[in-house]
């Protein structure tokens, strides 16, 4: 699996490279600035890009802008964004791109190697990998969600993180039938038709959060 990394911190960039190569990923490029990222993505068309939001020269949103531009040129290009902090504005901008293969993780999650590798694989496969803290802050900003019960909030968070009904049931120690009931209630309250497709469910939630 071919990977492009964009990270300005040398130690983290090199660490990510070694970590991924240990799990049989091929790091085809590792850049340290925004201007170099977009040409790299367009030329190499990796299976997944791992991108820091803030890159030189301005350390604002160069990484995010390059990722969005690359996805516009190559629809569905898998992008996993890494950020030092939860930045809802940046998360919403990325997630408003209604395509497959999107992730947003806090950098501290890299310390859990297995979790990080699973996230990279999930995004590369066209899935969604969202940091639970990012999801929590996005959900907290939506007043219409006040109509959901605490358990429905929990289920919605797991949906937004890309989990299947079976995985949600295991996490919450309930049956899949009960999960389906909660999901139907959630989408009914949010004015959205329920769907059995995990990716479409996630995208529907993210579009609502971005409204």
This prediction has a pTM of 0.69
pLDDT of 13 above 60: yes
> For 2-131, which CATH class?
alpha beta
Fold of 142-210: Arc Repressor Mutant, subunit A (1.10.10)
Location of each CATH 3.40.50.2300 domain in the chain: 2-131
pLDDT for 111-134, tens place per residue?
889 989 999 999 999 988 888 777
- In the chain, % of residues over pLDDT 70: 79
Quick one: tokens of 107?
């950098």
Location of each CATH 1.10.10.10 domain in the chain: 142-210
């Amino acid at each position: 699996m071919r990977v492009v990394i964009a990270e300005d911190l040398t130690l983290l960039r090199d660490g990510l490279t070694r970590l991924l190569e240990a799990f049989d990923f091929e790091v085809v490029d590792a850049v340290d600035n925004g201007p170099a990222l977009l040409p790299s993505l367009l030329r190499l068309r990796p299976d997944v890009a791992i991108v820091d939001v803030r890159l030189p020269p301005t350390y604002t949103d160069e990484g995010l802008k390059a990722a969005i531009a690359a996805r516009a040129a190559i629809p569905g290009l898998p992008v996993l964004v890494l950020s030092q902090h939860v930045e809802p504005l940046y998360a919403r901008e990325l997630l408003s791109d209604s395509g497959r293969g999107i992730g947003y993780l806090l950098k501290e999650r890299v310390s859990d190697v297995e979790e990080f590798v699973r996230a990279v694989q999930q995004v590369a496969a066209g899935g969604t990998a969202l940091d639970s803290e990012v999801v929590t802050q996005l959900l907290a900003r939506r007043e219409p969600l006040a109509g959901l019960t605490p358990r429905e909030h929990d289920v919605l968070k797991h949906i937004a993180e890309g989990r299947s009904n079976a995985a949600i049931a295991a996490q919450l120690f309930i049956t899949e039938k009960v999960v389906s009931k909660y999901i139907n209630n959630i989408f009914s309250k949010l004015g959205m038709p329920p769907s059995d497709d995990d990716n479409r469910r996630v995208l529907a939630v993210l579009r609502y959060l971005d409204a």
